[in-house]
Structure 1
Amino acid sequence: MSSNYSINIMYPFFRLIIAFSAGIFISDRLLPDSFPMWILLVVLGSSLMGLFLSYFYSHKFCSKYFGGFVLLVFMSGGTFWTHWRAQQLQFNWPDKTLLYEGTILEPPSLTDKTYACKVYVEKYYDDSLRLEIPVHQEILLYAVRDSLQNIPDTGVKLLFYAQLEPPSTPPYLSFDYARYLYYRGITATGVAYWGHWKVDTVMPVNLTCRQYALKCHEKLAGVLKSSGLRPDALAVTSALLLGEKDLLTEDIKTAFNAAGVSHVLAISGLHIGIIYFLLLFLLRPLLFLPAGRWLHTTGILFALWFFAFLTGLVPSVVRAVCMTTVYLLSSLLIGQRSSTWHVLYLTAFLMLVYQPFYLFDVGFQLSFAAVFSILLFYSFFRSKFPAGNTLLSYLYDTIAVTLAAQTGTFPLICCYFGTFPLYFIIGNLFVAPLVVLIIVLTLLVLGLSWIPLIQSWVVLCLNFLSAFFVNGISFIASLPYASIADVGITSLQAVLLSIILFAVYFFYCFRRPQVLIALLISLNIFGLLKWKQTASDTSPQILFYNREVYYKEGTRTERLVPYNACILSAGGVLTGKLSRDYRNLYTKERPLQLDYLFLCKGFKGDLNDLRRLFVFKKLVMDSSLPAKQRIQLAEQCNNSQTDYVSMEKNTVYTVLVKKQFY
């Protein structure tokens, strides 16, 4: 491998992206929210001054450190820009219920009892001060369903009474939910109860470009739903073409994860690549016209952006279309094929400038890690396979691309998902041609909606192909040892593992001692961290929180579902959860043996009633119980010397479970 290949990878844009990303990381993780902006501005100005002096003065000292000043400018610029964006998300929400006015930004998600709405809050009304206070922040509002109100829709005005609070992470979660919302611009959450919210149908609706796109996305989803597709086929086609995952069952999601092909369900670069090659074929006649290259490129870009618009301008599609746009325009303007490395770096830089917090988005990291590793490792893996006919070349190319993508994303998959599929090569060989056929047929279903007879024939083919697609993936996922579970690693371990993988590759190619030293150091640090993590692993836990019971083991947390009406079992611990009157539930002569009894809102009865039904070691009272009832039960427990816990609001009660060895 030539040294020019290494230079294309590492210099100059790669180093600039690393410096800018380091600035984003410093601002987000190291600087407090109250850090003065003027200090960052002084640092940025000083860096620019140093860059100016080192460029225009030929002094040996100045010219020697020109590259360092360039990196410092990008790092300080990333820090300043990220901190300024973070300052825009700071707001002191009143600690009382007030009337707010806002606009619904996206189609609400339906839950059992609420509409989950992303709302842009414009202002609130303070009756005590008789003032309208401007807000201009995005929140996540849970509006309890009200049959007397219109269903919330994208772009409509919403008036609601609620107490809004900054997002918080429930104690049972293994990831930072509050920071997750923060990175998406959500600065508060709240609940608007029945009768406390109203859709304003009088004010005119002024939709943004993205809201128009979401409206079109909803109409396309409606066309698919009315086309006569079977439930599984509708779920698969909606996910592949529109990115709609709500219709997918848990069994389908689990099967795709175990088979290592869950990426096809998230509309992204794979789907854009398929449509791009279809457009290359369909628009090829334009190349024979005057100014054919311009017409050909313009037609492809228009079609890709139109498709992105129809999918609701979701970030994953926008990333892929942006990368394709930069590549095609640069190739057209320069007059030759542009470097895919430079296109990748420039796209990443532009997206981070637009939204610095994309750096911490899992989809952003996986997308660019996959593309980066394909560009880096594909030729290496492909060279290990011999040349062959068309069919063998397709198989070898698919295997090489799959291995390259999995190599680069392996640390991220272990970090975020804690599992790794073993049959990902078989899964990708199976789904690659089927995804193309399903996307083409789904486009035909949408395009032929005005010809019902022909559409019905296409729907029949799509139903059969989707069933074969899902059954094949389910079969792969059911094979023995389909995936390795419990391989979770920390973020620092993921970084070290990435360094190890790339160091092994570069040492194999270039045999440089510096790379070997970095590899050995990273291996030692990774081993020490993994040993420390293993030594400090805690026992499994039972968590009581907010009317639910959870079982936590390592990084995995699951909500326990009762069997036999109210009994929960995990880790050898039996818990009874009572949220209504159970006095007539058990008629056995012997009381039921339990470890814990968990009382929640809706429970009726007293300690004597519980003693007739259960024998338990400890009584746990949730904060949802009325205060008067908790006081009465506490007095009864004290009088009978019964062990109990009375939980306060937003607190969690944790029980350690002894590990069981078999």
Structure 2
Amino acid sequence: MIANHKGEIPVVILLISFIAGIAGGIYFNFIFGWLTVLLLLYGISFAVLGLGYAQFKIYQNRWLGGFLIHPILFLLGWAAATGHNELNSTDHFAKSSAQYLAVTVTNEPRVKGDLVSFTAAAKHSINVGKTTSVSGNILITIKDDLAKKLFYGEELLIPAKFAAVDPPFNPGEFNYKQYLANHNIHCQAFLYPGQYVIIKAGQGNPVIAYALTLRQKLVRKFQADMCDTNAIAVASTLILGYKADLSNDILQAYSKTGTIHILSVSGGHVAIIYLLLSWLMRFLNSSQRGRILKALIIITLIWAYSLLTGFSPAVCRAAIMLSLIITGKTYAQYINTLNILAVSAFAMLLYDPFLTTDVGFQLSYLAVAGLVIFQPIVYNWFHFSNWFGDKIWMACSVSIAAQVITFPLSAYYFHQFPVYFLMSNLLIAIPVAAILYIGIALLLLPQMPFVSQGLGYVLESCIVFMNKVLAYIEQAPYASIGKIWLTTSEYVLLYAITLSAFYFIYSKKAGYIKAALAGVLLFSLSIGIKHLKIDNSQSITFLNLRKHSGIVFKNGRQGVVLTDVADTDKNFQYAIQPGLDSNRITNYKIYNFGNDIRAKYLLKHQGIVQFLDKKLLLLNQSSPLQSIPQHFNIDYLFTANNMFTDSTLMTRSKMMIIDGSNTEKHVKQLIMKAELQNIKYYNLRRNKSLTVLSK
């Protein structure tokens, strides 16, 4: 449903100004003193002109309303974002000293191995017997088996020992600090047995507490009626949004085939339920009262489903969106769906402005907008007189529209593109609907020996079949294009190209295709220049792997990784692999520090390394050192694992690299030595990796 004029989508136009203000408030987090004054000034001016519309003949200057309303919304968005940022609160718990904190668990604790993690809201701080009300969120991780029994809404007393969340230390590493900041969490605490006490329970929202309790009960029902652990995990995730038991292999299969969206209970699942309910109650369409009754029943049942899923953010988002769409369609003969979409976004962003940074929020709204705008265009490409062919093409057009509009965002965040997404989505469309309907029936019916077990068997069979199909597609040649790393400008260009191309197909105006071609040219130039730089760059990157060590030698697209971390280790996948991918190091070899290496651009014997024109001396437990030639000038002295460092070696080096595997005490000793002898050094412990260029 493309709007022919901006007057058809006024809420969308207004939403843009509001989001721009939120973005300004988030990324420039400061409250300028004139914000309130400007808001009042613009607001009063807008009200006066509105009341004097006829008297002042405002209709002769239509631009005046927009001149006032857009700054108001921009400033309102800025105020909402800065006001929502907990660090701007004077009573934030991190701004005052305390011995203890009283905190309330605000989400369902996640168990991973012997660790239990959850977010909590600080309520009181206690210092020398004085209790003070505070605010702020904190991420708590507890290494204790008893903590696995913690539940939403329980209030705990913990020591006020917390730290700021670490930023990403290595190239391409996931920015967990920013991720948590986008959820208004800036501090974290790690606790052991005996360091926390449960004060009382039931301090959270009773509806959410009931929803989470109900979801756990329903997950146990799946476990009672099904046998396959992977099938149980998929059923719990797909139907209830409970992801705790999902394996990495299953996640990878769904991700590489472009079907990961079905494992996030969101708009698609709610839409399937809506279609079934709408079809079952189609007999109510004959009168206005019947349509109102139908809308009330469907909206009630959709929110009941949200309750079953524990009120997960994605489901609540979809429920709000669909509730507004159903209401709008019930009471209006014609209403642009994009306006309803924008109203729901307004409502959610007023509640939490930081949702603009949430990938799920962005993908949900983009996917729905893509279906509204692009799906009719794609559907009109072909016409089938055969009913079955038409329905298949309808499903294809939905998948293409959703994939096209979300591709730039997915590539930007997840760095891959599923080649066979159309086939995958078509093949699992029926199994997903069957799984959803059968699963909900199983959960709603009371436990009956033969009926429940029969439904469980059918549900398990559908999931196993779907998993096998996706596993087969995942293993097919060129199933996905990976290692896509886009800059922000390239990401924006991709959207400009996509929108221009589709608008040209829709309107046939030459200006849009010219804009698309110009975007393609700029995008190609950006990619070409980036690849040219990569192919002609040589560098050494000293990684911060905390208790481990790692050095990456890059020579164009070739590389050598020197590390004590195995490539199958999660630390390698999290901290080293993203840097290799983002720097386009496609041909690399991994060596341990104890290995000797002979390559065209790198030689290593014991602890001595020659990389192009740079010389390194490695001092660690795995690189024995017998003697150093007198003429050997050291560019970089790399010291790790608390190895003794001779002062003469330090003076022969241009820079000393202190690895993060050294203890805090040893690091202080090395820094003291370096500063006494005026030697340049770089400390990797709790600092970002260091990249130095060669040649």
* TM class by smaller structure: 0.7 to 0.9
Tell me if 1:425 matches 2:422: yes
Give runs of aligned pairs for residues 572-583 of structure 1, distance below 5 A.
572-575=589-592
Distance 1:368 1:251 in 2: 28
Instruction: Show the 5 A alignment for 1:156-167.
Output: 156-167=154-165
Structure 1 residue 548, shift from structure 2 partner: 4.2
Q: Choose which of 435, 441, 445 in structure 2 pairs with 1:444.
A: 441
SS in 1 for 2:163: coil
Deviation at 1:636, TM superposition (A): 14
Residue in 1 that maps onto 2:116: 115
Return the offset for 1:377.
1.3
- My pick for the range that moved more, 78-87 or 133-142, is 78-87
Give the 3 Å change call, closer, same or farther, for CA 171–273 of structure 1 in structure 2.
Answer: same
Distance 2:176 2:508 in 1: 44
Query: Please, which moves more after superposition, 506-515 or 434-443?
Result: 506-515
| Alpha-carbon distance in structure 2 between the residues aligned to 1:595 and 1:397 | 64
- Conserved? CA contact 2:550–2:563, under 8 Å: yes
1:243 and 1:559 map into 2 onto residues whose CA distance is 38
**Which of residues 46, 54, 59 in structure 2 aligns to 1:51?**
46
Matched, 1:103 2:101: no
- What CA distance in whole angstroms lies between the structure 2 residues aligned with 1:595 and 1:243? 53
1:126 aligned partner:
127
- 1:509 Cα deviation (Å)? 2.9
Choose the corresponding residue for 1:246, options 240, 244, 247: 244
Question: Match of 1:330?
Answer: 328
Distance change >3 Å, CA 595–CA 417, structure 1 → 2 = farther
User: What is the CA-CA distance between 1:49 and the residue it aligns to?
Assistant: 4.0
Q: CA separation of 1:634/1:651 partners in 2, compared to 1, >3 Å: closer, same or farther?
A: closer
Q: Which amino acid aligns with 1:58?
A: K
Could you say if the C-alpha distance between residues 224 and 657 of structure 1 is closer, same or farther in structure 2, counting changes exceeding 3 Å?
farther
Report which stretch shifted further, 647-656 or 118-127. 647-656
Q: 1:256 matched to which residue of 2?
A: 254
Q: Aligned in 2, Cα 1:558/1:195: closer, same or farther, shift over 3 Å?
A: farther
Equivalence for 2:301:
303
Q: TM-score, normalised by structure 1?
A: 0.83
Which structure 2 segments of 5+ residues have no match? 578-587, 595-604, 610-618, 629-636, 642-658
**Partners of 2:620 and 2:639 within 8 A in 1:** no
The secondary structure found in structure 2 opposite 1:199 is strand
Q: Which residue of 1 aligns with 2:687?
A: 651
**Shift in Å, 1:456:** 1.1
- SS of the aligned residue for 2:164 comes to coil
Query: Per-residue CA shift, 1:167-187, capped at 9, x if unaligned?
Result: 331312534322211221213
CA contact (8 A) 1:44 1:73 kept: yes
Name the residue aligned to 2:580: none
**Partner residue, 2:367:** 370
Aligned counterpart for 1:562 among listed residues 563, 566, 570: 566
Distance change in 2, residues 1:78/1:566 (3 Å): closer
Q: How much has 1:247 moved relative to structure 2?
A: 2.0
Match for 1:6: what amino acid? N
Give 1:223-622 correspondences, 5 Å limit: 223-284=221-282, 291-334=289-332, 336=333, 338-512=335-509, 515=512, 518-519=515-516, 522-537=519-534, 541=541, 543-548=543-548, 561-562=565-566, 571-575=588-592, 611=624, 618-621=638-641
Displacement of 1:112: 3.1
After superposition, give the CA deviation of every residue in 1:515-566 in whole Å (9 maximum; x if it has no partner).
Answer: 4564455445434543454355465846232224578899xx9998538999
Q: Which residue of 2 aligns with 1:584?
A: none
CA drift of 1:294 comes to: 2.8
Structure 1: how far apart are the matches of 2:58 and 2:668? 80
Task: Please state whether the residue corresponding to 1:544 is helix, strand or coil.
Answer: coil
Report the equivalent of 2:36: 41
Distance 2:562 2:301 in 1: 43
Q: Distance in 2 between matches of 1:303 and 1:286?
A: 16
CA distance in 2, matches of 1:308, 1:281: 20
Q: Please state how far the C-alpha of 1:352 moved relative to its aligned partner.
A: 1.5
Distance in 2 (alpha carbons) for counterparts of 1:494 and 1:415: 7
3-state DSSP of counterpart to 2:208: helix
Percent identical residues: 24
Q: Secondary structure at the match of 1:142?
A: strand
Deviations 1:336-355 (A, max 9, x none): 36432221121122212221
Counterpart of 1:216 in structure 2 is: 214
Please give the residue correspondences for 1:53-202 in structure 2 after superposition, counting only pairs within 5 Å: 54-55=49-50, 56=53, 57-58=56-57, 62-86=61-85, 90=89, 91=92, 93=94, 98-127=99-128, 130-145=129-144, 147=146, 151-172=149-170, 174-201=173-200
Whether the 8 Å CA contact 2:371–2:398 is kept in 1: the answer is: yes
Distance 1:61 1:283 in 2: 49
AA in 2 matched with 1:544: N
Aligned-pair Cα RMSD in Å = 4.0
Structure 1 spans left out of the alignment, 5+ residues? 578-591, 597-605, 638-642
Contact persistence 2:540–2:694 (CA under 8 A): yes
Q: Does the residue aligned with 1:155 lie in a helix, a strand or coil?
A: coil
Contact 2:101 2:125 in 1 (8 A): yes
CA shift, 1:629, in A, is 6.4
**Once the two structures are superposed, what CA deviation does each residue of 1:93-135 show, in whole Å capped at 9, x if it has no partner?**
16877311111111211233421121111011112xx422221
- CA pair 635-609 structure 1, distance change in 2 beyond 3 A: farther
Q: Taking structure 1 as reference, are residues 233 and 322 closer, same or farther at Cα in structure 2, changes over 3 Å only?
A: same
Q: In the TM superposition, what whole-angstrom CA distance separates every residue of 1:479-513 from its partner, at most 9, and x where no partner exists?
A: 11111112221233222211121112223333446
Give yes or no for contact 1:287–1:295 (8 Å, CA) kept in 2: no
Shift in Å at residue 416 of structure 1?
0.6
Q: Deviations over 1:219-260 (max 9, x none)?
A: 212221222331121121112101222322222211111111
CA separation in 2, counterparts of 1:32 and 1:144?
A: 35
Q: Per the alignment, in what secondary structure is the counterpart of residue 57 of structure 2?
A: coil
Q: 1:550 to 1:39 in 2, by over 3 A?
A: farther
Is the alpha carbon distance of 1:150 and 1:76 closer, same or farther for their aligned partners in structure 2, counting shifts above 3 Å?
closer
Please tell me the residue identity of whatever aligns with 1:364: F
Distance, in Å, in 2 between the alignment partners of 1:406 and 1:204 is 43
Question: Is residue 106–residue 152 contact of structure 2 (8 Å, CA) maintained in 1?
Answer: yes
Residue in structure 2 matching 1:20, options 12, 18, 21:
18
Moved more, 275-284 or 55-64: 55-64
* TM norm structure 2: 0.79
Q: Which amino acid aligns with 1:333?
A: Y
Cα displacement string for residues 563-599 of structure 1 (whole angstroms, at most 9, x for unaligned residues): 899999984342359xxxxxxxxxxxxxx96889xxx
Q: Deviations over 1:594-653 (max 9, x none)?
A: 889xxxxxxxxx98998499x9x954236565556678999999xxxxx99995641355
In structure 2, C-alpha distance between the alignment counterparts of 1:566 and 1:243, rounded to whole Å: 25
Give the whole-Å Cα distance in 2 for the aligned partners of 1:269 and 1:631: 54
Moved more, 372-381 or 62-71: 62-71
Q: 1:96 to 1:196 in 2, by over 3 A?
A: farther
Distance 1:9 1:373, change over 3 A: farther
Moved more, 262-271 or 65-74: 65-74
* CA shift in 2, pair 1:94/1:368, >3 Å: closer
The amino acid of 1:401's aligned partner reads: V
- Residue aligned with 2:592, SS: strand
Structure 1 residues 549 and 278: CA distance shift in structure 2, 3 A: farther
> Any residues of structure 2 matched to 1:2-13 within 5 Å, and which?
5-7=3-5, 11-13=9-11
Distance in 2, matches of 1:287 and 1:198, equals: 57
